[in-house]
Structure 1
Amino acid sequence: MKALLVDDEQHVRHAIQLLGNWEEVGIDVLLEAADGHEAIEAITAHQPEIILSDMRMPGKDGMALLEWISAHNPHSKVIVISGYDDFELVRHAIRHGGMDYLLKPVEAEELNASLLKAVKAWMDEETSRTESARQSIVVNRMRPHYQDRLLTELAIGRGSRSAHIQRLQEELNLPCHIPVCSVAVTSLSHLDADCLAKYRSQPDLLIFSVLNVCAEMLSTPAEGVSFHQLNQPDEIVLLHWGSQSSLEHILGTINDGLEQTIQRRLHFGISSCKNYPEGISAAYLEASSTLWRRNILLTRQRIHSTTETTSRNKGKRLTSFEEPMRIAAMSCSAASISAAVAEWLDPFTELEAISAEQLQLWIQELEWMLGRWLEDREHTTVHEEKSDEEQEPPLTELPFDSEGLLSFSLLRSLLEHRLLAAGKAITAQHHTDPDPMTEIARYMDAHYQEDLSLQQIAARFYLSREYISRKFKQQFGLNWSEYLGKLRINNAKLLLHNPSLRVAAISEMVGFQDEKYFSKVFKKIEGITPAEYRKTVLHTGT
């Protein structure tokens, strides 16, 4: 900690240096200034926490210096040491933040008592400032997620109650009267792998970039809002308080902006105009269905307002060809795998229409098949000895080209690569794995505010639920749900220090969908309710 001595008389500065128990109160750097101008230079350069100043000095005197400090360095604690017992000087010092007014010649005991009080006051306030900064960081980080959660619940039909609509209006500054709404849905999984690869290490940057362009083109909340659909991590949704035709125009400008930003144009499914808010859920489902039932073989248009494919193709499902593919995979022969894939895939190349929904089903079937093949092993990953480039992508990658159309060559390559990797994993005699439980804990630390499930974590890390349950508790002394609960409650405790945040909002910010359940878990872990905890910390100031 630093202290600055300001006095025009050097012998006075020297005497104060001798009288003070500087190290005992935690001050290890002493600075000096002969007047207000030198003091301002020293404060600007060194930011001392404690300032001891005379009042009557040539040039910029102590009165002017205190005014400057209160405006430019208000966190510093000022002790005035003056030879003038003048009420106006005392009042001026107090008005501009002076903690004490000591008369010369100052006594050692009096000086050190003032120093101790000033140091303690600064440290208490610094602790409070640090805690406030931590709270602000947490709130600022969680607020966009909280807004996305409110809008996600509205879209999926869980947020049409009047209280929820009121919270949306307050949080997003929405218009008080919204008669109708049109919905647009896009999925980042409809981008090609080359584009997604640029954001593989920073998937949030891609989501932010798309949302930023959407928000810019929507102009104001009076025109509409865009959000990240949290139940579908690849999905961006737009709500427009207007007609389908005006929404199509907005989407055109959004794609122009995206082409400049991410060098791609997205496919959007849009709904017909519905009443707000009761029609939002139906409009969202309509827009999503339109997007996923677009023809990914021929249609190059980017805005889809009608369903372009009516049903799934009658060709063989991937799972109906499971055994030949499993045998080919276990052979670890690239030629055998290629032949098995071709036998299943080639008939589809003659079709005129395939939907994005059908493609997604094939990929889901592939994942399910590989999971079945590996589930009899205690634990493993499909990608054995993966390089950095082969790590599981944070966003779903489907075999689309840069126009968002199906690439049969990419689909063929994907199937062959995954089958060969699975075959090697199945037949491997030895398998070494980095500490998967620590990786799972890190993932939970970063995503605790999301709707996590053991099934989701098991699928992400290619481990069985039973294995995770057993090994996680062995390693951390808690099962995964207890760990997640404590993580959420610890972050909730931090947010409860902010009296402007409602308990219901905090529960959603940390991943609880039900306030009552949040309170139940909080009380089970902490022994008191969130409201009681808040009352305690606000009363004690801890």
Structure 2
Amino acid sequence: MKAIIIDDEKHVREGLMLLAEWDRFGIEEVFEAKDGEEAKEIILKHRPEIIFTDMNMPKIDGINLLKWLHASEIDSKTIVVSGYDDFQYMRNAITYGSFDYILKPIEPDILNETLDRAIKEWKKQALKRESTIENTRVINEVKPLYWDHVFTKLLTNKSIPSDASMKIQKEFGINLTEVEYTFSLLSISSIISKNFDGDRDLAFFTILNICNEMIRRKQSGVCFRNIDKENELVMIFWDVKNTHVLVELIHDTIYKFCNIKITLAVGKPSHHLYEAYQSALQTMLKYNLIEATKKKMVSYLDISASPILHILDYTQEITWALQSGSNEQMDEVLNRIFLTLQSNHILSFEQIQGWENQFVLLRNNWLKEYEINEQISFYNGNDYWDKDGSFSFTRFQEEKRKEFHELIHYLNQVKYQKYKNSIQEIELFIRKNYEKDITLQDIADRFYLSREYISRKFKQEYHETITNYLTKIRIEKAKELLENPHLKIYEVSFKVGYQNEKYFSKVFKKMVGLTPNEYRLSVMTK
């Protein structure tokens, strides 16, 4: 693959050259141009798949270059890199087919993530995947992503900035300061896991296109992606009279298109945009996922107060199960927790989020206790959905069990390795100090382990008792020393840890079959 960087500033071109991970994405050639005029010749000659371009350049600027690319039907993916956070620039970029718009100074993560998506997009089109989803996505690839950012910022502001209000009024023909709002929220977790092969961006594009087509047809609102939340899709309705009818229609269309059942959360109408969003957010976080599987939508009126179950309250029981190393014992604890959860609590997104956060906290504490500092990729069990997108309490239990079983397995491995390393250190200690009067109690005190544990584990590892192992090391060393004819037998005896020469000779003959003198003679006569 090929790419071109178009910018009148040399240091910007050099920065892009350094920051982009070209090899990772299979881009073998990267060309440079200082303006649109120079770029046109290179593009026509080399047909690069990826084009990075500035907007403000001499001769032919970025807007005119985009117009030319659009008119020429060149199938490259164009990424605008600009120092201007200006709506008109962004609108022109989108209008004339820019894949994305990123701002200077360039952040490496954003640059490479955008490049990754652009290449995937180009490859998909190159393979001419003419599915309905692909067609819908292609038709809407010029969707103004700018509005995702604008509306997302409004969600956290208790007042609407005048500049944003003016831009929205110009684009959508609505004065946000004069209307009453209703928000509807949708978590697309189940859609991502059951469709689109886990491609979150493609899932968002598809569902956004469906929602916006119906909402804008009625001129009653707008749908956008909350860029601050991983899986949240937001609908603002300013024609609140038709909200419930439209929400149910959206539900039915998504089911028809994706064969997935989803539940939309609808908040309380309000003249304050922030309050309207918070109402919808609390509705989505708190509604009962099990009861809502048969509903198209839930409203703020359906929400009832329910305490959150905290797995931190079961820390001691969980710890005992972990230390036992038994999946069965852990399952007994979890079954009690699941029963309590089902009987006394509501299984909501808020509850799931609380469980997941507390599990990570507990897991990190256990890893710290086992002195494990390296980064580990643990199983993240979050597929709680049946094939039709309905929430499944059974799958939730299965996913949570998998996480705990994996943790038990890992901690047991670490524990075993830790103990194995201790026994290996004991063996090394014996080998280095064989000539000393070593007792089992000395070893236990030195390594902070019980004598019984040391005896049992040492024999499992080396198939010998510690006494026999020490004797074998002493006799092997004695055989080496006996090869020196100048050493007396009693000197050899002392050097290998025996203070009594006769006892040494007795042990030596038992182990070797010869007395020390007989062994020396046999070695000398070879």
TM-score with structure 2 setting the length: 0.49
Bigger relative contact order (CA 8 A; separation at least 6): 1
Question: Could you say which structure has the higher helix fraction?
Answer: 2
Q: Which has the larger radius of gyration?
A: 2
TM-score with structure 1 setting the length: 0.47
